[in-house]
Amino acid sequence: MARTSRLRHEGKRTVKSKAKSKARPKSKAALDPITFSVILNRFNTIANEMTLTMEKTAWTSVIALARDFSCAIYDAKARQICMMDALPIHTNSLHVVLQEIARVFGDDIHDGDVIACNHAYSGNTHIGDFVTACPVFHKGKHMFWTVTKGHQLDVGAFVPSSVPAPAENIWQEGLQLPPIKFYDKGKRCDDVIRMYIANMRWQEWLNGDLMAQLGSIWNGRRRLVEFAEEYGNDEIERYSEGILDYADKRMSEEIRAMPDGDYDGVSWLDSNGKGGTNIQIGARVSIRGDKVHIDFSNSAPQVPSANNSSYGVMQAAAGIPILCSIDPTIPHNDGCLRHITADAPVGSVCNAAYPASTALATVGPGDTMQEAVWKALAHAVPERVLGGNGKDGNLPMLSGTDSRSGVDIEWGCLFFNGGPAGGATSKADGWPLIMTSAGMGGLKILSVELCELLYPMRIDRQEIAADSMGHGKYHGGPGVDVKMTPTSGAMLCELFGEGQSNPPFGAMNGTPGIGGGSYRENIRSGKRIYYSSKGRMVIEDGEFWAGISSGGGGYGDPLQRDPEAVLESLIGGFLSLKSTREVYGVVVDAKTMALNIEKTKALRKKLRAARKSKAITTPNVPGYATWVKKSLRSGDEYLIDAQ
């Protein structure tokens, strides 16, 4: 891939299309810089208050602890003004679903409305993401939308999971909600809400999360109305426009600093969800002047399971790596987003055609599309990219019956604690527990103690896994070695992960992460059954579930890593003595743990001489991971897409 992309790049290099962006008419009065900052930050504060409302009042751990939701503020034209601490896959596509909501209801949008939607074919990300949008009026004028998207614990699918990997179409995914009013001019649509809740598992919990989500958008509305009262509609609109222009201008400068050209990257999904492996996703990133276009034409047709992308996810997945390659202090709003466009053929795995299921869109397909874009960017702006993030793996949906109190209580939990890590960059090692590029570190793990209090499980181990990360001048974050035992009868475990046979890539001579995997083990016999990244298992009484998640991809040549830093990783147990020597060329006395500088120099020289050509990204072939193969013992089984 590297070769073709460079050729294409050079071929286009002469094309200079640095079109000047249209000069915007200057507003009559200049913006006062202090007022500008106050208003910009007030939006942030309001979005933050929406976020806290959702987090602090929700009833399920996926919202209240793991924070799998996003809150954002849009103007009346459905342009993003502000988001805080939110998940990139949500906030970079919320405008798509909001525009559809606005289109569907047209002039039937009123003060007091709440419009819900979870329908991927209405611009939503995937069915698990439930959108509530509240138009904000002041002095009779529609000024804003407050929007919250929360990942629901359940969607009424044919299996107890809101990310049902085996779903073959939207009817198996669960209850589809195209834009629909939950409140109409302030009046609660009880019939609609009853119908919604009636289709869900864990109804009491889901109802609690619905209240939290409504509270979040209402709190945003309340604060925005106060804000408009304080500054007046005109002033707020003038400054809002200024905030978008400000981001637009800075984004423009950033993209112009990237070399014009076409760049390609390819990645693979582990499977089609039905046993077929290595599904290609190809991205071409075209940079022209201050615009970027991403084209996913070089991708496989849609698959017969839920492992397809929706239109909304495709838009977000294309843009996130671009936004991560620019100055992070630029406010992330419509001013940035308007510089990025994306496309993929309808009916491809990146843009599935109705009625295909897209229930996994945000994670497997979204993560893999982002990876393909990153790999393409490595040819354009190598100093700005990262080694691959671990794709969402070892994050099972668990459920069962909790009889600990003497009363049977049905429970379900999205378990994030064994999540994979982030990739390294040209400046820093990767972070652990990035979980998925959809969240980019915005998802949290669950406190072990809270987990054991809330659910019938015991966590026996939760530590870093040595050598699980990609190596490099900077190494990826480490994966997690997790072991968990059910404590009240059997537990159902739905795996909907990704990236275990196609691990996170290494960049600029960095190496890939391990991919990782998970298994259940019979405590008495010791027999293990390994599962591919997707699959359904029952962890019976007398069994436990364990796994090692992938570390992130490395960046740069491991032989350039500071030997002292290598030693520190060795002493800390991040690296084994073997990889210290063989990958990093660092010689340490196993007994005294003393660094031998002379021998290190000599070994590094030898390794460097034996080194093959430079690799911009590794791997560029599918099915690269070997963790499962290495881990399988005689008598163990390995199941692909088990159902």
Partner 1 sequence: MRHILGVDIGGTFTDFALIDDAGEINLWKEATTPADPGIAIRDGLAALAETRGLEIRQLIESLDLFVHGQTIATNTVIQRNGPKTGLLCTEGFRDVLYFRDGFKPDRYNVSLPREKDFIRRDLRLPVTERIDYRGDVLQKLDEKSVREAVKVFKKHGVESVAVALLWSIVNPSHEQKVKKIVAKQLPGVPVVLSSDVLPMIREWERTSSTVLSAYILPGISEYTINLEKYLAANGFGHNLLVMQLNGGTATLAQLLKRPIYALASGPAAGPSAGLYCAERMKVNNVITIDMGGTSFDVCMVTDGHPALTQDMRIHDNPVGVSAIEVHSIGAGGGSIAWIDKGGALQVGPQSAGAEPGPACYELGGDQPTVTDVNVVLGYINPDYFLGGRRAINAEASARAIDKVIAKPLGLTTEQAADGIFRIVNTNMVNAIRVVSVEKGIDPRGYNLVVGGGAGPIHAGSLGRELGMAQAIIPRFGGVFCSYGMIVSDVRLDLVRAFASNTAALDLARINKIFSELEGEAIAELKSQGFPRSRIEIRRFADAKYSNQIHELTIPLPSRGKIKKSDIGDIAEEFHGLHERMFSYCVRESEVDLFHWRITALGKLPDTEARVFKRTRKPVSEAQKGTRPVYSSEAGKFKKTKIYDGDLLQHGMTVVGPAVIEQENMTVVVLGKQTLKINRYGDFVLAIN
Site for partner 1 in 83-112 (CB under 8 A): 85-88
> Per DSSP, what are the bridge partners of residue 642?
535
CB of 267 to partner 1, least distance (A): 17
Contact 359, 165 (CB under 8 A): yes
- Map the footprint of partner 1 across residues 130-159, applying CB under 8 A: none
Cβ 436 to partner 1 shortest distance, Å: 12
Pairing mode, strands 340-343 and 114-117:
unpaired
Question: Which is nearer to partner 1, 53 or 351 (by Cβ)?
Answer: 53
Pick 204 or 589: Cβ nearer partner 1: 204
Closest among 87, 99, 77 to 51, alpha carbons compared: 87
Peptide bond into 355 cis (omega under 30): yes
Question: Looking at 21, 59, 249, 623, which residue binds partner 1 (CB under 8 A)?
Answer: 59
Q: Which of 9, 12, 42, 149 binds partner 1 (CB under 8 A)?
A: 42
Least distance from partner 1 to the Cβ atom of residue 567, Å: 11
199 binds partner 1 (CB under 8 A): no
Task: Pick between residue 301 and residue 572 the one whose CB is nearest to partner 1.
Answer: 572
Total residues interacting with partner 1, rule: CB under 8 A: 82
- Residue 208 tokens read as 């609690």
Residue among 425 and 502 whose Cβ is closer to partner 1: 425
| Shortest distance (Å) from residue 640 CB to partner 1 | 29
Rg value, the chain, Cα: 25
Q: Establish if 38 lies at the interface with partner 1 (CB under 8 A).
A: yes
Closest separation in Å from C-beta 34 to partner 1? 6
129 counts as binding partner 1 under rule CB under 8 A: no
Q: Residue 435 interacts with partner 1 (CB under 8 A)?
A: yes
Angle at 209 between CA 356 and CA 539, to 5 degrees: 65
Member of 29, 453, 609, 610 binding partner 1 (CB under 8 A): 453
Among the listed residues 462, 576, 596, 620, the single contact to partner 1 using CB under 8 A: 462
Residues 373-412 that bind partner 1 (CB under 8 A): 386
Query: Tokens 């390659």 correspond to what residue?
Result: 325
Residues 532-591 touching partner 1, rule: CB under 8 A, are 571-574
Instruction: Give the binding range for partner 1 (CB under 8 A) out of 32-40, 303-311, 352-360, 602-610.
Output: 32-40
Tell me, residue by residue from 179 to 198, as one string, x for binding to partner 1 by CB under 8 A and - for no binding.
--------------------
Of 130, 223, 117, 134, the residue nearest 186 (C-alpha): 134
For the bound state, the minimum distance from the C-beta of residue 322 to partner 1, rounded and expressed in Å, comes to: 10
Token digits of residue 117:
């939607």
Q: CB of residue 473 vs partner 1: minimum separation in angstroms? A: 13
Beta-strand relationship, 261-271 and 491-496: unpaired
Q: Using the rule CB under 8 A, which residue among 392, 429, 521, 641 binds partner 1? A: 429
Burial class from Cβ neighbours inside 10 Å (0-12, 13-18, 19+) for residue 431 reads middle
Q: One-letter amino acid identity for 126?
A: H
Among 4, 17, 27, 41, binds partner 1 (CB under 8 A): 41
Query: Residue 402 forms beta bridges with which residues?
Result: 409
Work out whether 642 is an interface residue with partner 1 (CB under 8 A). Answer: no
The string of DSSP codes covering 214-282 is HHHHHHHHHHHHHHHHHH-HHHHHHHHHHHHHHHHHHHHHHHHTSPPEEEEEEEEEEE-SSS-EEEEEE
- Which residues contact residue 638 at a Cβ distance below 8 angstroms, ignoring those fewer than 6 apart? 529, 530, 531, 532, 628, 632
Listed ranges 98-106, 204-212, 266-274, 610-618: which one lies at the site for partner 1 (CB under 8 A): 204-212
Which of 15, 19, 450, 538 binds partner 1 (CB under 8 A)? It is 450
Contact (Cβ atoms closer than 8 angstroms) between residue 164 and residue 158: yes
Find residue 474's DSSP bridge partners.
Answer: 555
With CB under 8 A as the contact rule, the residue among 445, 539, 603, 640 that binds partner 1 is 445
Of the residues 145, 183, 205, 311, which one makes contact with partner 1 according to CB under 8 A:
205
Q: Is 355 in the site for partner 1 (CB under 8 A)?
A: no
116 lies in the binding site for partner 1 (CB under 8 A) = no
**AA identity, residue 98:** L
Binders of partner 1 among 219-248, rule CB under 8 A? 219, 222
- The residue among 10 and 562 lying less far from partner 1, judged by its C-beta, is 562
Q: Applying CB under 8 A, does 254 fall inside the site for partner 1?
A: no
Peptide bond between residue 619 and the one before it cis (omega within 30 degrees of 0)? yes
Is 594 among the residues that bind partner 1 (CB under 8 A)? no
What is the rounded distance in angstroms from the CA atom of residue 488 to the CA atom of residue 294? 49
Chain center to CA of 623: 22
Whole-number Å distance between alpha carbons of 181 and 250: 38
Q: By CB under 8 A, which span of 63-71, 261-269, 353-361, 579-587 interacts with partner 1? A: 63-71
- C-alpha–C-alpha distance, residues 123 and 96, integer Å: 5
10 Å CB burial of residue 595 (0-12, 13-18, 19+) is: middle
What residues between 464 and 493 interact with partner 1 by CB under 8 A?
A: 464, 480, 483
Among 163, 440, 492, 640, binds partner 1 (CB under 8 A): 440
Q: Please say whether the beta carbons of 613 and 6 come within 8 A.
A: no
Rule CB under 8 A: say whether 447 interacts with partner 1.
yes
Exposure b/e, 84-106, CB count within 10 A at least 16 = b: bebbbbbbbbbbbbbbbbbeebe
Residue 114 contacts partner 1 per CB under 8 A? no
Segment 323 to 352, residues that bind partner 1, using CB under 8 A? 323-324, 326, 328, 332
- Burial group, residue 162, by CB count within 10 angstroms (0-12, 13-18, 19+): buried
Q: Which is nearer to partner 1, 279 or 283 (CB)?
A: 283
DSSP-derived secondary structure letter, 347: T
